[in-house]
Amino acid sequence: MTSPKRYYTVIAALVLVVVVSLTIFSLNFKSPGKAGFFKKIVLEMAAPLNYAVNLAFSSIGGAWKRYVMLVGLEKENRELNARVVSLTRDVNDYREISLEYARLKKLMNIKGGSGFPTVVARVVGRNRLSVFRTVLIDKGTADGIEPGFPVITAEGVAGKIMEVSWNASKVLLLVDYNSNIDALVQRNRCQGVLRGRGGSWCELKYVQRSEDVEEGDVVISSGLAGVFPKGLVLGKVAAVDKEEAGLFQRIRVSPAVDITKVEEALVILKRTGEDR
């Protein structure tokens, strides 16, 4: 709230400005001649007072313009920020669409060269609590899927169908303890069974100690059990242990498919033992 002293000061200043202005105005209508002492004083005071008044009004006007400009800039800034958020969201959506397209394109290339009828499915759920390593896909019997059908990705084998409903299926991943796939080492064709170990790796079992298996060897499906077509990539040999006593080597295999990152998969709608 404005104090009385400040209020009176402002009034006095305004009165003074008015008096000086009226005096100057009256001088303009008098005949020219030699100025008297009082006129000289008025003229001396008028110049700095007019300058001060003009400066004050200019400052007020400039401050008001800056205020209006700042209000406009703040509004424009809010609008630009909202636009940036919207564009960032659009860019992210387009990036996701592009990545999905690239994954689906790889699946379509496999689909065209598989020689079997297939259906593309999306992963819609992951079982993180059960001892079983499974995922849920959005296709079922309505799409021709049955238990035992192979499930693959662009990188290789992901698992096989475990349970089926009308529009959803549960996939048993190849890393699950209950997963057993007849396999062979691609380089030298020695055979074994790829068994899941429950984590993120598998073990190639029943390979005799005399067989030449090396780290980095590619392991593929053998096609003997009538589930997976022959030649699908299962993984790579990560470690070989021949030191333990027994008939067989202990071979650790890293799956070709990172089961934690699978978003789409291809279900082969026939087992290899069935007629095409």
pLDDT digits (tens, 9 = 90+) for 10-23: 555 655 665 555 55
Residue 26: CB atoms within 10 A of its CB come to: 10
Which part of the chain has CATH 2.40.10.340? 117-276
Domain 117-276, what fold?
Thrombin, subunit H (2.40.10)
**Measured between alpha carbons, how far is 232 from 230 in angstroms, rounded to an integer?**
6
> In the structure, what pLDDT confidence band is assigned to residue 29 with cuts at 50, 70 and 90?
very low
User: Residue 100 — very low, low, confident or very high, per pLDDT cuts 50/70/90?
Assistant: low
Distance between CA atoms of residues 5 and 274, nearest Å: 105
Average pLDDT over residues 187-212: 92
Q: Of 52-61, 69-78, 125-134, which range is least confident?
A: 52-61
d(CA 66, CA 47): 28
pLDDT surpassing 90 at residue 172:
yes
- pLDDT for 270 equals 75
Q: Is the dihedral of CA 191, 196, 197, 202 positive or negative?
A: positive
Q: What is the dihedral of CA 179, 180, 184, 186, to 10 degrees?
A: -10
